[in-house]
């Protein structure tokens, strides 16, 4: 099943790129930053100050990227790496993105302890977003809806199958000292099928984009 979805995604990306009537050269972007706590879908990935970085290559809607951050919540893992490849298109202000995501937990660059894979679909516009992550093999599905249309804050709600649901609010504070600062609060409601506990986290992030 995993190979079939990967091939379908590859064909979709290839066909979409070839269908472009206007082409542009490849673009490179990235970020480095600090977070008071690292959360993923409401679940703490690293407690306390967390460093992270990411890079992405874009070309006519197709993209590939890598994000890495510290991890202290997955056994002996010291870092989590997210590798992503996909394609996005914008039609009349509605952006749709399809991607393959691989999340790996490592104790160093050369030693992967565990991983899981997903196919993700995201639809967004100026009012908000909806996303669905279809887990491959035995990975759990995840969905989320959110909006940034409120005057000062962003809000969201998401549910991770057999893991728990999360909701929260965040607010951008602008660019200071060369980086973008945001603050927020997230509540995680653990699923009865998981061995996790309910949790809530106040957090702040500082990100330098390039």
Confirm whether pTM is higher than 0.75: yes
Tens-place pLDDT, residues 27-54 = 999 999 999 999 999 999 999 999 999 9
pLDDT (0 to 100) of residue 32:
98
**Which are the contacts of 15, defined by CB distance < 8 A and separation ≥ 6?**
none
Tens-place pLDDT, residues 76-90 = 899 999 999 999 999
CATH 1.10.760.10 assigned to domain 2-19+29-209? The reply is: no
Q: Measure the CA–CA gap between 210 and 206, rounded to whole angstroms.
A: 14
Contact of 74 with 47, CB cutoff 8 Å: no
Rounded to a whole number of angstroms, the distance between the first and last alpha carbons of the chain is: 37
Q: Measure the CA–CA gap between 37 and 43, rounded to whole angstroms.
A: 10
Q: Measure the CA–CA gap between 82 and 31, rounded to whole angstroms.
A: 14
Looking at the predicted structure, is the pLDDT value of residue 22 above 60?
no
pLDDT (0 to 100) of residue 19:
47
- The dihedrals phi and psi of 2, each to the nearest 5 degrees, come to -60, -45
Pick the residue with more confidence: 22 or 157? Answer: 157
DSSP string, 38-64: EEETTEEEE-SSEEEEEEEEEETTEEE
Among positive and negative, which fits the CA dihedral 182, 88, 99, 208?
negative
The average pLDDT across 180-209 equals 96
Count of residues in the chain = 210
CA dist 63 to 16, 30, 66, 70, 88, Å?
Answer: 12, 12, 11, 24, 8
The average pLDDT across 97-117 equals 95
């Amino acid at each position: 099943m995993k190979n079939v979805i990967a091939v379908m995604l590859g064909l979709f990306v290839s066909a979409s790129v070839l269908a472009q009537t206007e082409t542009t050269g490849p673009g490179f972007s990235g970020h480095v930053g600090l977070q008071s706590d690292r959360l993923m879908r409401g679940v703490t990935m690293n407690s306390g100050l967390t460093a992270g970085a990411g890079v992405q290559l874009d070309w006519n809607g197709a993209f590939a990227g890598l994000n890495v951050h510290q991890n202290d919540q997955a056994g002996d893992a010291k870092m989590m790496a997210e590798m992503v490849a996909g394609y996005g298109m914008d039609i009349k202000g509605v952006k749709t993105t399809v991607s393959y995501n691989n999340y790996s937990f490592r104790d160093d660059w050369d030693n992967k302890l565990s991983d899981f894979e997903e196919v993700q679909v995201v639809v967004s516009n100026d009012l908000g977003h909806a996303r669905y992550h279809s887990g491959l093999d035995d990975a759990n599905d995840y969905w989320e809806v959110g909006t940034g249309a409120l005057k000062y804050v962003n809000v969201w709600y998401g549910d991770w199958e057999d893991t728990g649901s999360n909701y929260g609010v965040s607010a951008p504070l602008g660019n200071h000292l060369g980086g973008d600062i945001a603050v927020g609060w997230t509540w995680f409601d653990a699923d009865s099928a998981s061995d996790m506990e309910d949790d809530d986290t106040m957090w702040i992030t500082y990100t330098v984009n390039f």
